[in-house]
Amino acid sequence: MASQTVGFAVSDEDRERLDRLVEHFGGGNRSAYLRATLKVMESLRRAERLRELQAANHRRLAEQGVSAEDLPDLISKAYKGAHG
């Protein structure tokens, strides 16, 4: 795997926190810590996007007068209509 050194600044007040986290999650290796952090942040980003999509879909349903409680029955009817 190719790698590249990337520089960034960390405030003095954050340095101690960073060092503790690097030690705990990266075994003292900043690169390992960053790789672990990337996975977590990607997961958080996906969860955030899912919440946004769910909220948008709830708004669309509300505009059509459909509640979330109506969905299981509507889905069942649509499924039966497509396969029955």
* 13-52 residue pLDDT tens: 999 999 999 999 999 999 999 999 999 999 999 999 999 9
Q: What is the largest CA-CA distance in the chain?
A: 66
What length does the chain have? Answer: 84
Q: What is the rounded (10 degree) CA torsion for 57, 61, 63, 66?
A: -170
CA–CA gap between residue 70 and residue 73 (Å, rounded): 6
pTM over 0.75: no
The two structure tokens encoding residue 23: 């030690």
Say what percent of the chain tops pLDDT 90: 80
Residues 6+ apart with CB under 8 A from 50: none
